[in-house]
């Protein structure tokens, strides 16, 4: 099986990145993480790039022309698939169009509910009975695009934001690899 050269975009902790690195070591897993892009110099996720000797670059997305730098690197590493894993920046429409159906994102809610930030707080305030995570194709709208995989759990009365985050992230570590397998199964 020829693994797809994949770039993971991050901005922070990188726990999903770490999980994908582990999963992608399996010979039957469809992707190889060939590049990591971070728009945060201090992202903890960069440590995983160093530890597992995966090429990484920091891109300052506050400057003009940053998108060109992204494209140049995606080309250099022959990237054919992109995973957004806690990347806190809306990607350009040029990138979305270039990687149509080849760029996916993970979001900590049951989309289309609770798009955007501050998810867990809003879930609790809204007195939801269940929540979870969604892996979806990326389109030009914030947290838009068709869902690939969703994972759900029921909320306990005692659950606070931290507990919701923990439970959601544990599901994310199952959902992201599953979604990737699903994307390539359907090609
Ligand atoms: C995840 O909860 C993901 O759903 C959201 O950002 C968080 C990233 O966590 N988009 P990590 O950086 O993978 O630990």
Tens of pLDDT along the chain (187 residues) come to 899 999 999 999 999 999 999 999 999 999 999 999 999 999 999 999 999 999 999 999 999 899 999 999 999 999 999 999 999 999 999 999 999 999 999 999 999 999 999 999 999 999 999 999 999 999 988 889 999 999 999 999 999 999 999 999 999 999 999 999 999 996 6
Q: Name the residue among 114, 116, 120 with its Cα closest to residue 169.
A: 120
Alpha helices, DSSP H only, in 55-160? 66-76, 93-98, 119-125
CA of 16 to the centre of ligand 1 (A): 6
CA of 10 to the centre of ligand 1 (A): 8
Q: 16 CB less than 6 Å from ligand 1?
A: yes
CATH of the domain at 152: 3.40.50.170
Instruction: Tell me whether residue 107 is one of the annotated catalytic residues.
Output: yes
> Which of 52, 80, 99 delimits the end of a domain?
99
Using CA atoms, how far residue 82 sits from 9, 132, 178, 184, in Å, is 7, 22, 15, 13
Verify that 62 and 136 share a domain, yes or no.
no
Verify that 82 and 128 share a domain, yes or no.
no
Give the integer Cα–Cα distance in Å for 30 and 16.
16
The reported pTM is: 0.96
Verify that 9 and 86 share a domain, yes or no.
yes
Residue range(s) defining the domain that contains residue 132: 107-187
Give the integer Cα–Cα distance in Å for 136 and 139.
9
> Which of 99, 125, 145 delimits the end of a domain?
99
> Which of 65, 83, 99 delimits the end of a domain?
99
């Amino acid at each position: 099986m020829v693994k797809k050269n994949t770039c993971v975009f991050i901005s922070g902790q990188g726990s999903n990145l770490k999980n994908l690195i582990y999963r992608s070591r399996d010979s039957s897993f469809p992707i190889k993480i060939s590049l990591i892009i971070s728009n945060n110099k201090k992202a903890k996720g960069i440590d995983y790039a160093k530890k597992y000797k995966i090429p990484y670059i920091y891109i300052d997305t506050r400057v003009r022309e940053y998108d060109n730098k992204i494209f140049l690197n995606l080309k250099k590493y022959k990237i054919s698939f992109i995973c957004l894993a806690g990347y806190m920046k809306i990607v350009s429409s040029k990138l979305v169009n270039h990687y149509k159906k080849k760029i996916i994102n993970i979001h900590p809610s049951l989309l289309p509910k609770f798009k955007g930030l501050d998810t867990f707080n809003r879930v609790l305030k809204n007195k939801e009975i269940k929540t979870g995570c969604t892996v979806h194709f990326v389109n030009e709208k914030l947290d838009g695009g068709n869902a690939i995989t969703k994972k759900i759990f029921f909320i306990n009365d005692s659950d606070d934001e931290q507990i919701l985050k923990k439970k959601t992230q544990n599901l994310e570590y199952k959902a992201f690899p599953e979604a990737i397998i699903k994307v390539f199964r359907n090609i």
